[in-house]
Amino acid sequence: MTQQEIFVQLLIIGAGPAGLAAASAALQAGVRIVILDENPAPGGQIWRGGEMNWKDARAHAMWQQILSSQLVQYLPATRIVALQAQTLVAEQDDQVLTIHWEKLILCSGAREILLPFPGWTIPGVMGAGGLQALVKAGASLQGKRVVIAGSGPLLLAAAQTAQQAGARVLLIAEDQPWSALCRFFWQLVRQQRAKAWQALGLFWSLRYVRYRACSTVLAASGQQRLQQVRLRQGQQEIELGCDVLACAYGLTPNLELAHTLKCALTEGKVQVDAQQMTSVRNIWAAGEVTGIGGVEQALIQGHIAGLAATAQAIPEAARRVQRQALAFARLLQTSFSLRAGLRALCKPDTLVCRCEDVSAARLQQHADWRTAKLVTRAGMGPCQGRICGTACQFLYGWEAPQLRQPVFPAKTSTLAALAAGSLKETE
If you average pLDDT over residues 265-283, what whole number do you get?
Answer: 96
- Residue pLDDT, tens place only, 379-423: 888 888 889 999 999 999 998 777 777 777 788 878 776 776 544
Q: What is the pLDDT of residue 48?
A: 86
Nearest partner of 212 among 171, 184, 243, judged by Cα: 171
Instruction: Tell me which CATH homologous superfamily contains domain 116-248.
Output: FAD/NAD(P)-binding domain (3.50.50.60)
Domain limits, the chain: 2-109+252-334, 116-248, 340-396
Q: Among residues of the chain, what percentage have pLDDT more than 70?
A: 97
What percent of the chain is predicted at pLDDT more than 90? 82
The string of DSSP codes covering 289-329 is GG---HHHHHHHHHHHHHHHHTT----HHHHHHHHHHHHHH
| Strand (E) or helix (H) holding 241 | strand 236-241
- Write the pLDDT tens digit of every residue in 278-331: 999 999 999 999 999 999 999 999 999 999 999 999 999 999 999 999 999 999
Spatial CA neighbour of 20 closest among 54, 59, 48 = 59
> For 153-205, how does the pLDDT look when each residue is reduced to its tens digit (9 = 90+)?
999 999 999 999 999 999 999 999 999 999 999 999 998 888 899 899 999 99
How many whole angstroms separate alpha carbon 47 and alpha carbon 56?
8
pLDDT tier, 3 (very low <50, low <70, confident <90, very high otherwise): confident
pLDDT at 18 over 90: yes
* Whole-angstrom distance, CA of residue 427 vs CA of residue 404: 10
At 94, is the secondary structure helix, strand, or coil?
coil
Amino acid (1-letter code) at residue 332 = L
pLDDT band at 424 (very low <50, low <70, confident <90, very high): very low
Q: What is the model's pLDDT at position 282? A: 96
Q: What is the pLDDT of residue 426?
A: 38
Q: How far apart are CA 356 and CA 348, in angstroms?
A: 16
CATH of region 2-109+252-334, choose from 3.20.20.70, 3.50.50.60, 3.90.1150.10, 3.40.50.10470:
3.50.50.60
Reply yes or no on whether the pLDDT at 7 is more than 50.
yes
The pLDDT value given to residue 420: 65
Query: Please, which residues bridge with residue 104 across strands?
Result: 11, 283
Query: How many CA atoms are closer than 13 Å to the CA of 224, on its beta-carbon side?
Result: 0
pTM exceeding the 0.95 threshold for the entire prediction: no
> Would you say how long the chain is, in residues?
427
What average pLDDT does range 26-35 have in this prediction? Answer: 97
The pLDDT of residue 84 is 80
Q: What's the pLDDT score for residue 427?
A: 36
β-bridge pairing 168-174 and 210-212: parallel
pLDDT score of 234 more than 90: no
How many Cα atoms are found within 13 Å in the side-chain-facing hemisphere of 56? Answer: 16
Q: What is the mean pLDDT of residues 222-250?
A: 95
Q: What average pLDDT score do residues 232-249 get?
A: 95
Q: Do domains 2-109+252-334 and 116-248 have the same CATH topology?
A: yes
Mean pLDDT of the chain: 92
Q: Please, which residues bridge with residue 83 across strands? A: 88
| 3-class DSSP assignment, residue 55 | coil
Contact 210, 172 (CB under 8 A): yes
Distances 201 to 149, 156, 175, 207, 366 between C-alpha atoms, Å: 20, 10, 21, 10, 47
Q: Nearest to residue 258, comparing CAs of 93, 105, 32?
A: 105
